[in-house]
Structures are given as C-alpha cells and as structure tokens.
Amino acid sequence: MRRKLVAGNWKMHGSLSLNEQLLRELVLGVQGLECDVAVFPPFPFLAQAQVLLDGAALCLGAQTVSQHSFGAFTGEVSPGMLKEFGCRYVLVGHSERRTLFAESDDLVAAKFLASRESGLIPVLCVGETLLEREAGLTGVVVERQLLAVLDKAGVAALGGAVVAYEPVWAIGTGVTATPLQAQEVHAAIRGLVASYDAPIADGLRILYGGSVKPGNALELFGQPDIDGGLIGAASLIAKDFLAICRAAN
C-alpha cells in the first residue's frame, strides 16, 4: 500500500510573520495523520521553516534546485545546500519552471539525477498545456517528459522518488481535471514505468496537482493511482490545507 503524500507549494508567497503562524497551525494539525505532509517555501524562508519544523511530523522541501554541486552559478542553490537546511524533498520540472524559465526536459532530468545522488527526494512534475490537451497530445507530452528522466537516470532512480502530474491548464485557474481524467493519466504514468520495472512502478507515488481544494480532494485521492496532491494556493490557508491532508488520510 502506497502511503499518500500531500505537498504544499508556496510558490513566491510568504513572510516571516505569516510563515510562523501558518507553520505553527500546520504542525499541530498534522499530528496523528497517516499520510505524509510536506511544505515547499521560497528559499529565503528555509532556515525559519527548519527551526519551526524541528521534530514535527511535517517535512520540508524546496521549489527547485541546481544540477550542479558547486561553482560559479550566481543565483543557483545546490542539492547539498538544501540538505543543510533540512530539506527532504525538492520539486523538479514544475510547469512554471518549464514555461517561465525555459527549463528543458534534459535540464529537468539532470536536476532529478543530481537530487537523487545527493539523497534528496525529487518530486518530478509532468503535465500538458491546454493546447496540447486539446490536440490530444497529453500522453505524448507526459511520456516525453518521463522518458527524459528514465533515459538519463534509469528506472531505479524512480524508486523512492515521487512524480506529480500537473495539467498546466488546471494550475491556479480553478479548473480541475475530473477524477477520471486525472486517473487516466496517472495510470498511464504507472504503466510506462511498469514497462521498465513493475515493482518500482507499483511503489511509485504519483501526485495530482491542479486546483486541488477541500471540496474535490476526497474524490481525487480516492482514485486507485492517485497517491496524494501537489497543492498550490490552498496550501497557504491552514484550514484548507489541513482539510486536504485529512482527505488523504
């Protein structure tokens, strides 16, 4: 049985005072839950979060990472640096990184491999745009993004990693893929990995990301191949995020 994971991506939101209030509420609220829960603050707040989450049943993650361990890469942050601040997870290939910052499939794969080699758990984000969905290219796009990682890192690197399917057209729009639409893509992802290694595919946690709310979380998480969620806006509101976590419990 795969243990569900709910991950809160704060994106470029937060302040020292707001973070403290939110994290204190979350630390109390996740006690006793049987799912894993993680938050992904912006880089400047990782030190604050590390202190507030010390000993808590709430994991810390980062929103992106460099594929390099060190060097003259101004503005970049290495996997080793993230580990020093207590990060367990890191997002790689989020759609906003792909579209706004032109991260290619090859670059995402390199970041995935660097994260794995450092001991971080990468959350590999894949998904299609609205134009690609309307053109019937969802399967082609998701397969291409996954194969880039499989070709560079090998299927064994997916053991213990996480994949997040996030249809770009459903992120922050209020439009959510129906549970059946999401399940179809999740099943295809698991099937592709199974064609390389069935046991790894069976244990792979695949999250859904795209306007997940307290009102739709239970039905989404009830699908056989959906193992939790990558949550955006709702992760900034303690009562909403905790309600989603309870739906995964």
Q: How far apart are CA 111 and CA 78, in angstroms?
A: 10
Query: What does the DSSP 8-state code read for residue 2?
Result: P
Q: How far is CA 67 from CA 55, 71, 77, 78, in A?
A: 29, 11, 9, 7
Report DSSP letters for 150-176, one per residue. Answer: HHHH-GGGGTT-EEEE--GGGSSSS--
Please list, in sequence order, all residues whose beta carbon lies within 8 angstroms of the beta carbon of residue 78, skipping any fewer than 6 positions away.
Answer: 65, 66, 68, 69, 70, 118
Q: How far apart are CA 13 and CA 248, in angstroms?
A: 24
Give me the catalytic one of 103, 128, 132, 166. 166
Our answer to whether residue 166 is catalytic in this structure is yes
Structural tokens at position 232: 């955006």
**C-alpha dihedral (142, 144, 148, 150), degrees to nearest 10:** 70
Q: How far apart are CA 227 and CA 172, in angstroms?
A: 21
Contact call for residues 76 and 63 (beta carbons, < 8 A): no
Our answer to whether residue 186 is catalytic in this structure is no
Cα first-last separation, the chain:
13
Give me the catalytic one of 94, 96, 128, 132. 94
Q: Which residues are catalytic?
A: 94, 166
